[in-house]
Chains A and B, each alone.
Chain A
Amino acid sequence: GAVVSQHPSWVICKSGTSVKIECRSLDFQATTMFWYRQFPKQSLMLMATSNEGSKATYEQGVEKDKFLINHASLTLSTLTVTSAHPEDSSFYICSAGPGLTSGRAYNEQFFGPGTRLTVL
């Protein structure tokens, strides 16, 4: 399958600071990228869907001004957690796939290894 990387794999930051997480598709063009959050012993919860060159679509309850998503190229999407608080500590996972219009975006996702965020 296709390879998706995330950087950093682990980050600790102070409360009130901003943290940027990168998601890269290494060997294919990812028209659509998804960002998930996973709390301990919980399932993956979709935060937002982004299409290259367009604004991200956020799921209900996810603050778009707090979780800034940029998908400026077909190989890179970034998630910035602004003014992070301890309750934002979680495991953030991205996935990448073909465009939504392909009809395969949701069932052909390739997941990154995740980024563990700890906010002190």
Chain B
Amino acid sequence: QKEVEQDPGPLSVPEGAIVSLNCTYSNSAFQYFMWYRQYSRKGPELLMYTYSSGNKEDGRFTAQVDKSSKYISLFIRDSQPSDSATYLCAMTTGNTPLVFGKGTRLSVIA
């Protein structure tokens, strides 16, 4: 079992839809959870950062962490064509290197 599992998609949604992206993980020691957005041929850009369990909201983006289920989610409300990108989850214990998911490719169709 890989440490971090993420469905690679692709995921295609109409403009304005709510998007749900998810990752599962196996290492219960992970404490810090991140979501990165990566446009084609660009480096990752940090979107959301969560410590331990709970929810965090920033504009149209909401990150959820459920440590009991080892499951994290990113929700995008009112999705826009400019949200079309690959979304990577990543996590760390704080003392070990980031472990990334494979990324989910999202297309928002106008």
**Residues of chain B at the chain A interface (Cβ within 8 Å):** 8, 32, 34, 36, 41-46, 49, 88, 92-98, 100-103
A106:B45 contact, CB within 8 angstroms: no
Please give me the residue from chain A that is nearest to B90 by CB atom.
Answer: A44
Contact in complex: A43, B32 (CB < 8 Å): no
Contact of A93 with B46 at beta-carbon distance under 8 Å, contacts A41-B8, A106-B32 already known: no
Does A61 belong to the interface (CB within 8 Å)?
no
Residue pairs across A and B with CB atoms within 8 Å: the count is: 55
Give the total of A residues in contact with B, Cβ under 8 Å: 24
Contact of B95 among A1, A103, A114, A116 (CB under 8 A): A103
Q: Is the interface of B mostly helix, strand, loop or mixed?
A: loop
Q: Please tell me if the beta carbons of A114 and B102 are within 8 angstroms of each other in the complex.
A: no
Is chain A's binding surface mostly helix, strand, loop or mixed? loop
Question: Once bound together, how far apart are the Cα atoms of A21 and B92, in whole Å?
Answer: 26
B94 in contact with A44 (CB, 8 Å): no
Contact between B43 and A106 (Cβ–Cβ < 8 Å)? no
Verify A106–B94 contact, CB threshold 8 A: yes
CA–CA, A41 and B88, complex, Å = 11
- The answer for the CA separation of A112 and B38 in the assembled complex, in Å, is 11
Looking at A1, A34, A106, A109, the one whose CB has the most chain B CB atoms below 10 A away is: A106
How near does chain B come to A117, taking the closest CB pair, in angstroms? 12
Does A111 sit within 8 A of B, measured CB to CB?
yes
